[in-house]
Amino acid sequence: MRSRFLLDVFLAVVALSISFFLYSILDNLVWYGIYVVNLFSVIVVVLAIKEGAVFGAFLGTACGLIQDAFSGGIFGISGLTKTILGYSVGRISRFIDISTGYRKVVFIFLLSSGELVLWIVLSAFIRGQKVFLADGIVVLQPAVTSVISSVILALEHRLSLRRS
Amino acid sequence: MVFLKKKKELFLFLALIMVHLIFISFQLPGGTEISYMERAVFFVYSPIQNLAHKVIQGISASWENYFDLRGVREENQRLKKELFFHFQEIRFLEEQLKFYTSEKFIKENFSRFRNSLIPARIIGSDPVNIYQSITIDKGSLDGIRKNMIVCDKFGNLVGRVMGPVSLKESKIKLITDSTSGVHVISRKSGVVGLLVGKSDYLAELKYALSSGPELQKDEELLTTGYDGIYQPGISVGKILSSFQDTNMPVFQKIIVRPNFQFSKLDIVAVIPSLTEETIK
């Protein structure tokens, strides 16, 4: 039980560090790149589907707080929305069938769209001003998140099939 | 007890939500103080950002060194020429200054300015709004402190160090951020006001009286130093448009385009703030 918990923590720390490293590379390479691909959402969605709702919620908290710490905005908004994303993805994926690629894409797209809408509403409400949408590019985030997450999950599934 | 065990997941989730709501509520309405949690996260993860930037820098430097040597000689000649003119300009300005103050005073001030200037590289932009903040690769070990002023390589005002300041990284609040305020004066007409960001590529000059002189398009704005942070005389931006504010007719509504160009921002200069200079 304890070793399982430690393994989970280790997995979360490694996943976070890798996603943050990739996020920083993307930020340095592509102008507005970090607004098209939200790697934190990708990592939260993928691991919430794999590990469950509680893991997803905690990872969402960590990812959101990192995003907030590097932003000039209110600390905690992304943390809150990503916690909800991680928990809801982990929870709902246990009740519905998302085994096919198409279902996965639609499921992740809907939940990450919900997260984005919640983030926009909260940011506008708390800061009381227009939310930065990077010339509308931010709207692409749920679609890109769902495609990348589904590809990662499919690859992981293939790898585990090969191993077994 | 059985109910609690069954609903453990939900309670954990609700507890996390509560933690976030507490974080958010602590920062409202001002959002000025940085929490220990935010500092801790920045402290732990900023070295990764620095590493990623160094990887990109290393790859692009190798590319330039080995494959893209064409044009280097030409660029070198052009830079030498530019440097020559810059030196001449400095000499001319030094001569001009001598009319107003002693040579010893100028030399002391110039050397002090050079010693206090910290060049830094931008390693990351804001994940939520690109016009709010940036991260630089210099931190407390390099002498960076909160409220130090940040200018681009042409001397235009970019923002100030807002923190968290890590050992080798710091976060900068840009003048385009909506929570930033700089007291400025227009070069020609002498209109004073508070420059506030709009969280996009523009800023707004607030509290400029309608009864005062009319501002012309492209008129330059400089810092006054009255805010106690920014040293006076730093170039900030140019007037884009000015018209009567319908909500508050006492004031003009003035839109300003900051002089620093975000897409070309790579190296910045960090200089002491006015409070630090006064203390010295």
Q: Is A17 on the interface with B (CB under 8 A)?
A: yes
Number of Cβ within a 10 Å radius of residue B211: 7
For the segment B89-99, what is each residue's pLDDT rounded down to a tens digit?
Answer: 776 777 677 66
Coil, strand or helix at A29 = helix
Q: Residue range B4-23: average pLDDT?
A: 81
Show residues of chain A in contact with B31, CB under 8 Å. 74
Asked if the model's pLDDT at residue A83 lies above 80, the reply is yes
| The dihedral formed by the CA atoms of B86, B91, B95 and B97, expressed in degrees to the nearest 10 | 60
Q: What mean pLDDT, rounded, does chain B reach?
A: 81
Query: What whole-number distance in Å separates Cα of residue A97 and Cα of residue A93?
Result: 7
**Residues in Cβ contact with A79 at an 8 Å cutoff, skipping those fewer than 6 apart:** A60, A61, A64, A65, A67, A68, B20, B23
Cβ–Cβ below 8 Å for B21 and A34: no
pLDDT value of residue B279: 46
Confidence of residue B209 (pLDDT cuts 50, 70, 90): confident
Show residues of chain A in contact with B56, CB under 8 Å. 25, 28-29
This prediction's pTM:
0.79
Query: What whole-number distance in Å separates Cα of residue B171 and Cα of residue B27?
Result: 18
Confidence of residue B188 (pLDDT cuts 50, 70, 90): confident
For the segment B131-157, what is each residue's pLDDT rounded down to a tens digit?
Answer: 888 999 999 998 899 889 998 888 889
Show residues of chain A in contact with B163, CB under 8 Å. none
Report the percent of chain B where pLDDT is more than 70.
84
- As given in the structure block, the two tokens for residue B67 are 């494959």
Number of Cβ within a 10 Å radius of residue B233: 12
Handedness of CA B233, B239, B243, B248 (dihedral sign): negative
Q: Is A31 on the interface with B (CB under 8 A)?
A: yes
What's the half-sphere exposure (Cβ side, CA atoms, 13 Å) at B138? 20
ipTM: 0.80
For the segment B96-131, what is each residue's pLDDT rounded down to a tens digit?
Answer: 776 666 667 666 666 666 677 888 888 888 888 888
pLDDT value of residue B107: 67
Query: What whole-number distance in Å separates Cα of residue A83 and Cα of residue A11?
Result: 17
